Chains A and B, each alone.
Chain A
Amino acid sequence: MWRRCLLTGMLVWLAATPASAFVAYVSNEKGNTVTVIDTNSWAVTKTIKVGQRPRGVEFSRDGKFVMVAVGDDDTIQVIDTKTQEIVDTLPSGPDPELFTQDAAGNTLYVANENDNTVTVIDLKTRARIGDIQVGVEPEGMTISPDGKILINTSETTNMAHFIDTSTRQIVANVLVDSRPRFAQFKRDGSELWVSSEIGGTVSIIDPVKREVTGKITFEIPGLRNEAIQPVGIGMTKDGKTAFVALGPANRVAVVDGATHKVLKYLLVGQRVWHMDFTPDEKYLMVTNGVSNDVSVIDVASQKVIKTIQVGELPWGITIAQP
């Protein structure tokens, strides 16, 4: 009897959790909320009230928490993924916007827009352990795959700052186009991509030479040049395909990771901003700030398959196992 019961239970459990059941957390900048989406049903399962102006949002490495930078409250809030409630805050500097963590999930690096610093936080003790002075209006943050170099981009200084994670000293500054927003390494560490919102380009940087070796430009017939404002970047693990959100151009560019050629443009919602893949890389979800929704892109077919209404001015997104 109990055996049968267990078996049935397992069958039910199997049916309820197909391979693609992940959970996405979307920060809504104007709504002061985080929307939780189930990627199996593509339904909103919860809306969590958070602090003021939530932007950068990311799962902790162990998946137990989601961290969300609430800029106007000068802190990072920690959401427990089990209860989906705020359980703690992290001591960032003023106006935190984007952040990144090391591979082990021990150290968090936060870009504080308001005072030209990157704050270093120990995630175990949840204490602030240092600051690094960078350029004007720091924003984009990422860490090299080997963990040795932290990248910070500064919007008015227009640079990608290379910071040695062991000494916390700037070791190089690479000039990119106007208002660099987001930085991402290829998984193999061979290239660093930096988007420039006002410059309208993505710079390809050689992380060894620490210089710009190429630039991706975008042209969309019928659309004025100034409306093309690259922000979020997503790259498949194999480095073969990249997606670039083009802001008020309302499109996501699909870029060949090797040749850096733009392959096609996918029409999404208005002012497309940031993005994340489901962990199986079947889907890419992008936030559309002005139309208050999230577009779901089927990565293999490179088609937009779904739009999900979220809160006001969706900004960041992070996806992981529930």
Chain B
Amino acid sequence: MFRWLIGTIALSMMATGALAADPVEIHIGYLGHAGVKSTLSLVEQPADNDGIAGARLAIEDNNTTGKFLNQRFVLDEVKVKDSDDVAKVATDLAGRNDYIITDLPADALLKVADALRDRGTVLLNAGAIDDRLREQDCRGNVIHVAPTRSMLADALGQYLVWKQWKRWLLVTGSHDQDKLYAEALRRAATRFGAKIVQERTFEDTGGARRTDSGVTLIQRQMPVFTQQAPAYDVLVAADESEVFANYLPYRTWDPRPVAGSAGLVPTSWDASHDQWGAIQIQNRFVKLNMRRMTALDMQAWTAARMIGEATSRTNSGDLKKVTAFLKSKDFSIAAFKGTRLTLRDWNWQLRQPILLADGRMVVSVSPQEGFLHQVSELDTLGVDRPETKCKLQ
């Protein structure tokens, strides 16, 4: 009798435990870098929480869904300085989190990926656009949410060709990443039938981005820099370093539009994008963060939502199950781009439409009509499977 009673109590305790079970907690780390880059335009100056703010919104969205599935998402934010040992910081973070969203330069990301290689931690690259991270330097434990330089360049190239602006004057900055962007633009020109009629380099001779009477000087400098060019339709600027491109619109010697790093800019997100339900996320973002949503915010949102999507689809907090689903054919994510986004299984790059924005409006969205592909039109953007140098391990 006594035994029976104990049994019943134990049973009822188990049942209660199951009913009021603590939610499954999914811990997501965010590894960003301290310090923000200086931009030519004051309105484009990134906020301190650029990127993180997007991840925070996704955590809220995940938790709204999670309350129906007894799942809870927690964000663990860390910023590294250049002097920090990024591998060590990442290892500490990986001790507390199964997933880490990164906004790191390419070399730092590779260090982190290699340091965490045997842990099973899933890294989601939200910040680095370098093609080499998806090609010769690809890693099996990194999923790339940020688009690549070549995807951005192809998105712009398709539109310029569609617009019949096929003669490009390419102006490149003197820093390494400017040269990489120029390389991607050259590739786009070749792929889609544009012609680079001339190339010029804009040397960074140093100097402050903010001066009280800088405009007078720029107004004289830019026309001179762009004069005596062969006949061209559009000036394409490769200036990721923010040295000159934003000085070009309305100041070129010939009246020509500017694209690339200024004027018509290819980007994963823009604060003015409102199609395909995007107005809803824009409103949620502004309500939460009291500012507008940037491309990095969107990339971080998408990364955290991908984890949320995979955990709700698998109804599991188990890292192996969730990772397997993320990397399966069944995985896709909706991100207000009018189509589902999926992963390229040869290098774990997220396929995505690219917006072309002029700073006030979204002008167009690539891939453009007529650029066809046997698998997905999204694969007309960036390096495709037959050309890849990636060997996933």
CB of B334 within 8 A of CB of A157, answer no
CB of B65 within 8 A of CB of A135, answer yes
A interface: dominant SS: loop
Find residues 148-182 in chain A having any chain B CB closer than 8 Å to their own CB. Answer: 154-159, 161, 170, 173, 175, 178-179
CB of A226 within 8 A of CB of B339, answer yes
Task: Provide 23 A-B residue pairs closer than 8 Å at the C-beta atoms, listed in order of the A residue.
Answer: A113-B277, A113-B280, A114-B280, A114-B283, A114-B284, A136-B65, A137-B277, A157-B64, A158-B312, A159-B65, A161-B68, A178-B332, A178-B333, A179-B334, A198-B332, A198-B340, A199-B340, A224-B373, A224-B376, A225-B376, A226-B377, A227-B339, A248-B338
Interface centre among B277, B283, B309 (most CB of A within 10 A): B277
**Residues of A in contact, count (CB < 8 Å):** 28
Choose from A135, A175, A226 the contact partner of B340 (Cβ within 8 Å): A226
**In the assembly, what is the distance between CA of A53 and CA of B284, in Å?**
19
Known: A136-B61, A178-B333. 4 other contacts (CB 8 A): A135-B65, A173-B68, A226-B378, A229-B339
Q: A136-B64, A159-B68 are in contact. Are A198 and B339 (CB under 8 A)?
A: yes
Kindly list chain B residues whose C-beta atoms are within 8 Å of the C-beta of A175. 312-313, 315
Kindly list chain B residues whose C-beta atoms are within 8 Å of the C-beta of A226. 339-340, 376-378
- Nearest residue in B to A178 (C-beta to C-beta)? B334
**In the assembly, what is the distance between CA of A161 and CA of B69, in Å?**
12
CB of B332 within 8 A of CB of A199, answer yes
Kindly list chain B residues whose C-beta atoms are within 8 Å of the C-beta of A135. 64-65, 68
Check if A116 is an interface residue, CB within 8 A of chain B. yes
Q: What is the CB-to-nearest-CB distance from B40 to chain A, in angstroms, rounded to a whole number? A: 34
Choose from B68, B332, B376 the contact partner of A157 (Cβ within 8 Å): B68
**In the assembly, what is the distance between CA of A165 and CA of B261, in Å?**
54
Check if A314 is an interface residue, CB within 8 A of chain B. no
Q: Which 5 A-B pairs have the closest CB atoms?
A: A157-B65, A198-B334, A173-B68, A226-B339, A178-B334
**In the assembly, what is the distance between CA of A173 and CA of B65, in Å?**
10
Q: What is the CB-to-nearest-CB distance from A113 to chain B, in angstroms, rounded to a whole number? A: 5
Kindly list chain B residues whose C-beta atoms are within 8 Å of the C-beta of A51. none
**In the assembly, what is the distance between CA of A116 and CA of B340, in Å?**
22
Kindly list chain A residues whose C-beta atoms are within 8 Å of the C-beta of B284. 114
Interface centre among A155, A156, A161, A179 (most CB of B within 10 A): A156
Find residues 89-119 in chain A having any chain B CB closer than 8 Å to their own CB. Answer: 95, 113-114, 116
Against A, the Cβ 8 Å flags (1 = close, 0 = not) of B217-244 are 0000000000000000000000000000
Check if A200 is an interface residue, CB within 8 A of chain B. yes
Find residues 195-230 in chain A having any chain B CB closer than 8 Å to their own CB. Answer: 198-200, 224-227, 229
Kindly list chain B residues whose C-beta atoms are within 8 Å of the C-beta of A224. 373, 376-377
Q: A135-B68, A157-B64, A198-B334 are in contact. Are A178 and B340 (CB under 8 A)?
A: yes
Q: What is the CB-to-nearest-CB distance from A93 to chain B, in angstroms, rounded to a whole number? A: 13
**Residues of B in contact, count (CB < 8 Å):** 24
- Nearest residue in A to B353 (C-beta to C-beta)? A226
**In the assembly, what is the distance between CA of A113 and CA of B274, in Å?**
14
- Nearest residue in B to A159 (C-beta to C-beta)? B68
Q: What is the CB-to-nearest-CB distance from A182 to chain B, in angstroms, rounded to a whole number? A: 14
CB of B64 within 8 A of CB of A116, answer yes
Kindly list chain A residues whose C-beta atoms are within 8 Å of the C-beta of B305. 156
- Nearest residue in A to B312 (C-beta to C-beta)? A175
Kindly list chain A residues whose C-beta atoms are within 8 Å of the C-beta of B373. 224
Kindly list chain B residues whose C-beta atoms are within 8 Å of the C-beta of A113. 277, 280
Q: What is the CB-to-nearest-CB distance from B342 to chain A, in angstroms, rounded to a whole number? A: 9
Find residues 51-87 in chain B having any chain A CB closer than 8 Å to their own CB. Answer: 61, 64-65, 68-69
Kindly list chain B residues whose C-beta atoms are within 8 Å of the C-beta of A229. 339
Q: A113-B280, A137-B277, A224-B376 are in contact. Are A156 and B68 (CB under 8 A)?
A: no
CB of A158 within 8 A of CB of B340, answer no
CB of A155 within 8 A of CB of B65, answer no
- Nearest residue in B to A72 (C-beta to C-beta)? B279
Find residues 265-291 in chain B having any chain A CB closer than 8 Å to their own CB. Answer: 277, 280, 283-284
Q: What is the CB-to-nearest-CB distance from A16 to chain B, in angstroms, rounded to a whole number? A: 44
- Nearest residue in A to B377 (C-beta to C-beta)? A224
Q: A226-B376, A226-B377 are in contact. Are A156 and B283 (CB under 8 A)?
A: no
Kindly list chain A residues whose C-beta atoms are within 8 Å of the C-beta of B376. 224-226
Interface centre among A157, A161, A248 (most CB of B within 10 A): A157
Against B, the Cβ 8 Å flags (1 = close, 0 = not) of A221-250 are 000111101000000000000000000100
Find residues 12-68 in chain B having any chain A CB closer than 8 Å to their own CB. Answer: 61, 64-65, 68
Q: What is the CB-to-nearest-CB distance from A198 to chain B, in angstroms, rounded to a whole number? A: 4
**In the assembly, what is the distance between CA of A166 and CA of B54, in Å?**
38
CB of A156 within 8 A of CB of B334, answer yes
**In the assembly, what is the distance between CA of A175 and CA of B332, in Å?**
14
**In the assembly, what is the distance between CA of A156 and CA of B339, in Å?**
14
Kindly list chain B residues whose C-beta atoms are within 8 Å of the C-beta of A227. 339
Kindly list chain A residues whose C-beta atoms are within 8 Å of the C-beta of B65. 135-136, 154, 156-159
